[in-house]
Amino acid sequence: MKLFKRLTAIALAAILACSCMMMASCEQANNKLPIVCGETGMNDVAGVATYGVNYYSLGVKAGDMAADILLNGADVSTMSVQMDPNPTLTINETVAAEIGFTIPEAVKAKATAAGANTVTRVESAIVESGADFTVGILQLVQHVALDQSNKGFQDQLSVRMAEAGKTVTILDENASNEQSNNVTIAENFVAQKVDLIYTIATSSSQAAAAATEESKIPVLFNAVTDPVGAGLVASMEVPGGNVSGVSDINPVAQQVSLISELLETTDVKIGFLYTSAEANSKYQVDLGIAECEAKGYEYVEKGIGDINDIQAAFTALLAEGVDAIYIPTDNTLANGIATVHSVNMGE
Amino acid sequence: MLNLLLSGVTQGLIWAILALGVYLSYRILDVADLTCEGCITLGASVAAMLIWKEVNPVLGVVIAFLAGCLAGIITGILQTKLKIPPILAGILTMISLYSINIHIMSLATGASGTANLSLLNFKNGTIFAPLSDLLGLNKTMTALILGIVIVVLIIAVMYWFFGTEIGSAIRATGTNEKMCRAQGINTDTTKIIGLALSNGLIATSGALLCQYQGYSDVNMGVGSIVIGLASIIIGEAIFMKAKNFAVKLSGIIVGSVLYRVVVTFVIASGMPSTDLKLMTAVIVIVALVLTSFAGKFKKKGAKTNA
Amino acid sequence: MLELIDVKKTFNPGTINAKKALCGVDLHLNPGDFVTIIGGNGAGKSTTLNAIAGVWKIDSGKIKIDGIDVSKLPEHKRAKYLGRVFQDPMTGTAATMEIQENLAIAARRGDHRTLRWGITAKERKEYRELLAMLDLGLEDRMTSKVGLLSGGQRQALTLLMATLKQPKILLLDEHTAALDPKTAAKVLEISDMLIAENNLTAMMVTHNMRDAIAHGNRLIMMNAGKVIFDVSGEEKKKLTVDDLIQKFSQNSGDMLSDRALLS
């Protein structure tokens, strides 16, 4: 009888010890990491904070480029593709709370202070006819972000024109999401011999590039994520043709630095999670790694083949002891972003 | 002015091939086939992908035509063998093509999820570039001439085909299926053949279009069915009295060209850009009203004569 | 020539709309038989013709044409053996096509259709002669669209199309019902002529008892999906409308209320 009691006690102790160990190991696997996503939509699901591009300021940037071309005779073939100089910081307190991460006050303050710096349009610089310059705008579709790109461009161009004492006529056309109109509008501008074409969105930009093959009218694009992949420019630094512009690619460098700000230390190890087959993702990761090297962050990259690899890649990054994860704008991971979040939550 | 006109005519000719395809399903087979919107992109994606793979662009257009035929066959099988209502069958193929087109374009880049395939760096791989060098003309003029040649060729082939035994059977199927079955025609087969050819033409239009506009994009088919129908309606309004099949088909070409020229001039007129869709609708409505008025007038005239 | 063995068909089986349309039809036609079929509405006259034509599959029984079991063949394959004319003049022709094109399609009934030209010069000549026989002036309108023809002209054309390529059986499904009496008489005359000239085996459904007696060598009466009366030869020649009414009332109580039969 005594023996039985003792055995029971041992057994109970063993079970307890085992479950404690199991719980401990669970705890280990539940090491929830702060994630920064390249794209705000993805960040809304799984990230704690990120920088998103501001389409208005991209438009302003393009307006400056246009003014440089029209007023100062800048050569579009050597004007490097610009990115958003002033991206908007957004924080995601929901995800932060879920993973038990505290967003530093400094970052929070930055997020609330953020706001687009608008340019006051000089109405007198934009005239119906008899202007010094004619600019055609080809926008793919009515859309909040694209409309902002259009407005920012016009505002800044009017300011620059007014400063130089010049006027501009703006032919503002919208393909209304019918791509046949892309070609018609672009060829229209060419036939009307406009001085410059500003295009908003990839397909509109491609149609304008194709339509200006012979006339070589300068084309400035906006809202194109991957201008090289879209065949618009030879490289981001030296476009090489009559086409350049601003890219709405996510500000990778700022996003990567944001991780260090979130963790309040420069001694960080960042894990890059992306899809190997997606050229655009790889490009962003390379930009991110360049930023890490410049700032002296440690990093490790894990490419996945498809959506099923997310769990394994995540575990591998944990094993490498990373402090945070950066996910670029990536089609596969965008589809699997909910999986990323649940893996991070240890579900 | 002349440049604007030339640009409109050239685009109109490329779209005319699509309009002929839509005519085949909508008028000859009497089926509203919505495969069109996915199929023009299919043609563009296949042709663009093959240009990336350095395939001869003429062969690329032929393969795009065959791919379109395949899409039409699938819609046809859904309609006839699986008894899915025609509009739904077309929509089902159209939405499947959205994914398939992305897969096809991804074959070129090797990156999954390629929704836009640029041909701007493959100018010499397109059908227009070598021809442009050969003829010593600019791209628009080259496309104009090539467009005329292709359209004339297609009309000739269609005129021949719909005069043959199989072609007659397809025409009869569109008019009276019951009569066809009583005359030993397998209407499932004739419908499938008709839809295959219709979508083959639509894909051919897409294959030329992508080379002209410099890219293929998964959303480029949006609105294409309206363009096809508008071309048919305008063409029929003008060639109302046409009896000869070849003249009727030529009417579609004129309709397509006219539609595009009108859109070109509407855009050039400086009308607010947001009104473009409204103008498109107005153009079609005007053509429709003209047709029905002219039709009434003709009937009245006939009665007075009698 | 034609054998129907215990043919049964129920529409919408298993639903409240279930209707037993054919309840074991047995019929045997000899070569050259010209059978007229009468019966009240819903008796199964047209259903029998549709069963033979293969518009849908029968539930049970067998249909043999010239010894060949066609029960399982789809409609377009049976067309090889059958010439058909329908009640609605719109049904038998393609309205948007020319008269000669309609004939050319009918001339290829049962043949494998190819990429050869749909109509030859030799055919045109032949069709002109055949159309002239109808005496409707259609021979001068060969390239007119059929949609422009009157109902009677369309039925005459459909008859010509049905017999252009000799069918084993000609099925006439109330093909004069939609025509005015004068036109109906003309179309019946053409039917008789074509059947006699080509020595065809034919079945004609009609609502008109006088026509049923005047035409053909054999008459059958149907009721409730069955053949209830079958006469031929001399016996048929002696039939009167009164005989038929009497015959019908013996088999069916509600017959006198059937106005269609009395027309």
Residue A280 belongs to a domain: yes
- Shortest CA distance to C232 belongs to which of C36, C64, C4, C49? C36
Q: Is pTM, for the whole model, over 0.90? A: no
Domains and CATH numbers, chain C: 2-93+150-262 (3.40.50.300)
| Residue A149: partners with Cβ closer than 8 Å, 6 or more residues away | A55, A56, A58, A59, A62, A139, A200, A222, A223
Q: How many CB pairs under 8 A join B and C?
A: 85
CA distance C133 to C262: 34
Q: Domain for residue A109, yes or no?
A: no
- Tokens 């259709």 map to which residue? C113
Instruction: Report yes or no on B267 lying in a domain.
Output: no
Q: Which residues of chain C have pLDDT under 50?
A: 255-263
Q: What is the CATH number of the domain that holds A338?
A: 3.40.50.2300
**A276 in the same domain as A218:** no
What pLDDT does residue C234 have? 86
Using an 8 Å CB-CB cutoff, list residues of chain B that contact chain A.
3-4, 7-8, 11, 15, 109-113, 116, 118-123, 138-140, 212-215, 217, 219-220, 222-224, 227, 260, 263-264, 267-268, 270, 273-274, 276-277
Q: Is residue B234 part of a domain?
A: no
Q: How many CB atoms lie within 10 A of CB B272?
A: 11
* Per-residue pLDDT tens listing for chain A (347 residues): 555 566 566 655 555 555 545 544 444 445 689 999 988 888 989 999 999 888 898 999 999 999 999 999 999 999 999 988 778 888 999 999 999 999 999 898 888 765 556 889 999 999 988 899 999 999 999 988 899 999 999 999 999 999 999 999 999 999 999 999 999 999 999 999 999 999 999 999 999 999 999 999 999 999 998 899 899 999 999 999 999 999 998 899 999 999 999 999 999 999 999 988 777 788 889 899 999 999 999 999 999 988 888 999 998 999 999 999 999 988 788 888 999 999 998 87
Chain B residues within an 8 Å CB radius of C115:
161, 164-166
Residues B242, C254: Cα–Cα separation, whole Å: 56
- In which element (H, E) is residue C27 found? strand C19-29
Nearest chain B CA: its distance from C218 CA (Å): 25
Are A62 and A173 contained in the same domain?
A: yes
Q: Which residue has the tokens 């074509």?
A: C194
Backbone angles phi, psi at A273, to 5 degrees: -115, 120
Residue A219 shares a structural domain with residue A299: no
Residues A63, A166 share a domain: yes
**The last residue of a domain, from among A223, A247, A271:** A247
Let me know if residue A124 belongs to a domain: yes
A303 touches B: beta carbon within 8 Å = no
What ipTM did this prediction achieve? 0.90
Same domain, A209 and A325: no
Counted domains in chain B: 1
Name the residue among B189, B182, B184 with its Cα closest to residue B29: B189
Instruction: Say yes or no: A234 and A274 in one domain.
Output: no
Of B229, B228, B254, the residue nearest B239 (C-alpha): B254
Distance from CA of B82 to the nearest CA of A (A): 32
Report CB contact under 8 Å: C76, B164. no
pLDDT in tens, B223-263: 999 999 999 999 998 888 888 899 999 999 999 999 999 99
Which chain C residue lies closest to B160 (C-alpha atoms)? C117
Nearest partner of A304 among A281, A274, A331, A347, judged by Cα: A274
Number of domains in chain A: 2
Nearest-Cα distance to chain C for B166, in Å, is 6
B176: chain C residues, CB-CB within 8 Å: 90-91, 93-95
Reading the block at residue B265, the tokens are 């001039």
Give pLDDT tens digits for A18-64. 554 554 444 444 568 999 998 888 898 999 999 988 889 899 999 99
Any residues with CB less than 8 A from the CB of C60 and at least 6 apart, and which? C6, C7, C8
Domain span including residue A192: 56-86+117-247
pLDDT in tens, chain B (306 residues): 788 899 999 999 999 999 999 999 999 999 999 999 999 999 999 999 999 999 999 999 999 999 999 999 999 999 999 999 999 999 999 999 999 999 999 999 887 778 899 999 998 899 998 899 899 988 889 999 999 999 999 999 999 999 999 999 999 999 999 999 999 999 999 999 999 999 999 999 999 999 999 999 999 999 999 999 999 999 998 888 888 899 999 999 999 999 999 999 888 888 887 888 888 888 888 888 887 777 666 555 444 433
Residue B85 domain-assigned (yes or no): yes
Is B245 domain-assigned? no
Gap between the Cα atoms of C90 and C206, Å rounded: 18
